[in-house]
Structure 1
């Protein structure tokens, strides 16, 4: 129906009632009484309209604090519509508040820093990652100019010059960050910071690993290739041929050990190979490690073992690899006639395996880097002893998978002590009284 018709029909009905009532008064009491009745009716209608207009005005001033009246006539429909609008608005406001809370939670959980600035670079909001990356504090720095808070010439030039087509890479507060400005609305900008410190460190480690591995493999391959060329180009006497074959065999074994160690490291670092704990018979394991150490020594060292601790839950192959690497290092870097003591014992916090030798020792400046891949204190001696440079890196990763720690105590010329500590949570059962070998 036409809205104009909807409006005029009830108005016409009310006017007809008013005029009909005034006519009846006129008929019974005369003209003056009829006019007075009509005037009183008009005044009453105006008063009612003014009353509802006033109530509407009061409600519009504070819609959240007042209740809409029920109304009369057309006002009933008006107030009903206003009530529905207010209810819809409250629903929309609740949804908006919920979405805003979710947005803020998402921004707080983002690993990248997010800073919202106005067109003159004053801080409006930032998330915790941005606070960590740039040293900002939302409560303290809100309303301050970002270029006054982040003291970096490259960063200030990037913001002030407004060349935002390319991101900026900068070193700030010990981190390497990639910063990017995104225009937002007409008078706001978003600064996004991404921390690439660990990514670059991992990439550098990968490049170093490939370079070192290539270098380690190239040396034995060069030796083998050289001897093969000599053998192909000339006749060799049996003694020379045997010496060449011996050297080639040694170099091939060196490559084999290197590749095996690299595969072991790769497996230890892979998330596709989670550790599956099993009961590890420590006396049996250490007896095997002792036997291998004595075989490698060839009777040149005094190697002994003491067991005064319990079995553990862990991966037997990985623990064998870690303990074996520690013992083989002790054999390689201890001169003939030296002593190597192996000891397994309970501690207040768990159990520990200790390898103590009377070898050449290590200067303090090298100790913190010993578990790095291919790091060697003396490269020439490492080649002589046929080490791959990966043994202690393997030990470190095995202990990481077993929640253990490696402590190194050493002094040049005074021998070394390598101590593996495993937590009490891995202890399984106690062994029978002290065993020694």
Structure 2
């Protein structure tokens, strides 16, 4: 861009003034020529003043649309200002577009993002961060994050400036993983990730491993103990040998059932597809009832209501649901109690209900009944020879069949397990 030349504007005025002074001096009227030159200069100066005034007005709202046209040298000046302003507006529009795109991208991230300066003053945050920390960008922008979030661990983490060193805090009943990232020279970004469910899964995995190890260790301890005794004792009385073999056999059976249940749970979790066939539910339920009656050994009264309704699903998996629910009812119902099995449609949905008159379950235990190895009464559960995986299997089978499990129980009155299948599972 060429520089503005004032000589182009001043040269004609100087030539005119010299001509006027020269002509008037020929007639001995030099003073008149000087007056005319002064008038011309004042006129030109007033023109520059008007253009300066236009320039001052434009500065108050400098856009490319309202640049003055100008006269003389000001034409070049305003043309250059117009070109500069157009270039600035193009850059500003591009920056605004990139900023909007950045904020839109950050708004759709699953993690919280908080942009703040080195003094921890909030400049921007996405909606996820607003949920994590109960921020409101409109209300809290310009306030210090350490004042908005009264959590000592977070305040210490930000003040320490531990960049790229993640930390975990508990805030508003959530487990959050935080990462502080240095951004430019005077800004930093706080990234928050909700790991509440991940922590729960990890805790459940640790509990599962611990409980599985404990459940397997008990029968193995019995078996290895008897084997060591047999090696050390030498000759053992036939009656004692038979008793020990029977005990080892029972422990081996328990361990086999436990391993089978663990393998079935693993398969249910990894195998997404259900092998749908038409299940004759009347036949299946009567078969499972026969096994429950044998397990009860005449100690309970069974009351059934089975409608001729067939179901689409996996025979093996649905059978495991019925087996586990009936066996639980038998194990936890005192002698002389009743066990009710009902299979019918309710609101056009196939519904299986198994109700017992046992001890019932306290309300605080109901949400965790379907967890692996969770037991309300550990001593009683082990005495009943349960593996602690039955209801977990029931839950996963029903999930795979898009069904819902409801548990209603009152202490001292009994428990009702209800499996509600979707209408789409009705066999035509």
Band of TM-score, shorter chain: 0.7 to 0.9
C-alpha separation between the residues in 2 aligned to 1:376 and 1:116? 47
Match of 1:269 in 2: 269
1:163 aligns with 2:134: no
The offset of 1:248, in angstroms, is 1.9
- Listed as ranges, the gaps of 5+ residues in structure 1 are 20-41, 431-437
What SS class does the counterpart of residue 192 from structure 2 fall into? strand
Are 1:403 and 1:423, in contact at CA under 8 Å, matched by a contact in 2?
yes
Are 1:334 and 1:357, in contact at CA under 8 Å, matched by a contact in 2?
yes
The offset of 1:372, in angstroms, is 1.7
Q: Deviations over 1:125-161 (max 9, x none)?
A: 22222222222211222222333322223433444xx
Q: Deviations over 1:282-340 (max 9, x none)?
A: 4x245334323422532424435433374444444332222221112112223454432
Are 1:181 and 1:190, in contact at CA under 8 Å, matched by a contact in 2?
yes
Are 1:313 and 1:428, in contact at CA under 8 Å, matched by a contact in 2?
yes
Match of 2:259 in 1: 259
The change in CA–CA distance for 1:327 and 1:204 in structure 2 (over 3 A counts) is: same
C-alpha separation between the residues in 2 aligned to 1:51 and 1:122? 46
Match of 1:377 in 2: 376
Are 1:285 and 1:320, in contact at CA under 8 Å, matched by a contact in 2?
no
Match of 1:428 in 2: 426
1:239 aligns with 2:235: no
- Listed as ranges, the gaps of 5+ residues in structure 2 are 16-40
C-alpha separation between the residues in 2 aligned to 1:267 and 1:210? 17
What SS class does the counterpart of residue 151 from structure 1 fall into? coil
The offset of 1:185, in angstroms, is 3.7
The offset of 1:84, in angstroms, is 6.4
Are 2:312 and 2:427, in contact at CA under 8 Å, matched by a contact in 1?
no
Match of 1:207 in 2: 206
Match of 1:351 in 2: 350
Map 1:278-289 → 2, pairs under 5 A: 278=276, 280-282=277-279, 284-289=280-285
What SS class does the counterpart of residue 368 from structure 2 fall into? coil
The change in CA–CA distance for 1:189 and 1:364 in structure 2 (over 3 A counts) is: closer
The change in CA–CA distance for 1:317 and 1:342 in structure 2 (over 3 A counts) is: same
C-alpha separation between the residues in 2 aligned to 1:168 and 1:302? 58
What SS class does the counterpart of residue 392 from structure 1 fall into? helix
Match of 2:291 in 1: 295
C-alpha separation between the residues in 1 aligned to 2:267 and 2:72? 83
Q: Deviations over 1:165-223 (max 9, x none)?
A: 35553322112333344443444333333333222222211111100000000011111
What SS class does the counterpart of residue 394 from structure 2 fall into? helix
The change in CA–CA distance for 1:375 and 1:412 in structure 2 (over 3 A counts) is: same
C-alpha separation between the residues in 2 aligned to 1:302 and 1:154? 59
C-alpha separation between the residues in 1 aligned to 2:197 and 2:351? 32
Decide which moves more: 131-140 or 335-344: 335-344
Structure 1 length-normalised TM: 0.76
What SS class does the counterpart of residue 306 from structure 1 fall into? strand
The change in CA–CA distance for 1:286 and 1:256 in structure 2 (over 3 A counts) is: farther
Match of 2:216 in 1: 217
Decide which moves more: 302-311 or 52-61: 52-61
The offset of 1:55, in angstroms, is 7.9
C-alpha separation between the residues in 2 aligned to 1:317 and 1:260? 13
Are 2:64 and 2:82, in contact at CA under 8 Å, matched by a contact in 1?
no
Match of 1:126 in 2: 125
Are 2:288 and 2:322, in contact at CA under 8 Å, matched by a contact in 1?
no
